[in-house]
């Protein structure tokens, strides 16, 4: 089936594969309050990643049971190769023409592999070893006039770097310390989101 969503959007592939109708359908997938449903990714302290998916799902076009079976089968297939429990499906529910799914991934690499996207979490040195371009200037969340470069990052061993192509809101377990210029941060410092429409990766350093 043709994938309705852009390949750069971070959403489990089984859900993406079920939406094969027109762009107009995305416009009618609001909940009863009139607000579009929102998908959020959470990075947890133990290194796992959780995603709460809320996407339009019109019952007259799609079957809830098919959605459930597809998600569970894909997760089971991944776990047979990667290891039991690497992906846990915690909730699958359709209500008010919105599919709500909660999935948990043991590691960021599991999330990236299953969703065929970029989602790296590790040290700056590890990111460099993986081939990511970290030779950039990052601004401090507390003071945008304060910046750091690659040499600073490599010396900051108590910081992790998140590199992703996500278009969704990401919730961190701790405050973001430094960010690339295409990232917006909430007042709490723990919620981040891309602030442009480019295909560039976003970078977030946090402890």
Per-residue pLDDT of the chain (207 residues; tens, 9 = 90+): 223 222 333 344 555 554 432 222 332 233 334 455 678 999 999 999 999 998 888 766 668 888 888 899 999 999 999 988 899 999 999 888 888 999 999 999 999 999 999 999 999 999 999 999 999 999 999 999 999 999 999 999 999 999 999 999 999 999 999 999 999 999 999 999 999 988 899 999 999
* Residues 141, 69 within the same domain: no
> Helix, strand or coil for residue 131?
coil
Beta bridge partners of 120: 163
Phi then psi dihedrals of residue 37, to 5 deg: -65, 155
**3 in any annotated domain:** no
* Residues 17, 110 within the same domain: yes
Q: Give me the pLDDT at residue 72, please.
A: 92
Instruction: Look up residue 24 and give its two tokens.
Output: 């107009």
**1 in any annotated domain:** no
Distances (CA, A) of 96 to 70, 77, 92, 172: 20, 30, 14, 29
* Residues 84, 23 within the same domain: yes
CA distance 25 to 16: 13
Q: Give me the pLDDT at residue 60, please.
A: 65
> Helix, strand or coil for residue 80?
helix
Centre a 10 Å sphere on the Cβ of residue 195 and count the other Cβ atoms it contains.
13
CATH number of the domain encompassing residue 33: 3.30.1360
- The residue among 51, 80, 115 that closes a domain is 115
pTM for this model (two decimals): 0.82
Distances (CA, A) of 58 to 15, 26, 55: 13, 10, 10
* Residues 168, 93 within the same domain: no
* Residues 53, 136 within the same domain: no
**2 in any annotated domain:** no
Contact residues for 104 (Cβ-Cβ < 8 A; gap 6+): 48, 49, 50, 51, 87, 88, 90
* Residue-number span of the structural domain to which 78 is assigned: 13-115
CA distance 77 to 94: 23
Q: Give me the pLDDT at residue 6, please.
A: 29
* Residues 45, 126 within the same domain: no
Q: Give me the pLDDT at residue 31, please.
A: 34
Q: Give me the pLDDT at residue 30, please.
A: 32
* Residues 35, 111 within the same domain: yes
């Amino acid at each position: 089936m043709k994938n309705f969503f852009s390949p750069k959007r971070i959403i489990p592939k089984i859900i993406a594969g079920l939406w094969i109708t027109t762009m107009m359908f995305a416009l009618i997938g609001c909940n009863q309050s009139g607000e579009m449903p929102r998908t959020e990714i959470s990075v947890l302290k133990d290194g796992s990643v959780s995603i709460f998916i809320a996407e339009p799902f019109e019952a007259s076009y799609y079957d809830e049971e098919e959605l459930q079976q597809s998600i569970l089968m894909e997760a089971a297939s991944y776990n047979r190769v990667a290891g039991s429990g690497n992906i846990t499906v915690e909730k699958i529910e359709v209500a008010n023409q919105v599919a709500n799914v909660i999935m948990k991934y043991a590691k960021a690499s599991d999330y990236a592999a299953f969703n065929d996207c970029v989602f790296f979490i590790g040290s700056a040195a590890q990111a460099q070893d993986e081939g990511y371009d970290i030779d950039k200037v990052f601004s401090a969340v507390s003071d945008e006039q304060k910046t750091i470069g690659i040499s600073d990052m490599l010396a900051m061993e108590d910081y992790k770097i998140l590199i992703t192509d996500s278009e969704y809101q990401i919730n961190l377990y701790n405050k973001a310390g430094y960010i690339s210029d295409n990232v917006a941060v909430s007042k709490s410092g723990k919620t981040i989101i891309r602030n442009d429409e480019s295909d560039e990766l976003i970078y977030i350093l946090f402890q």
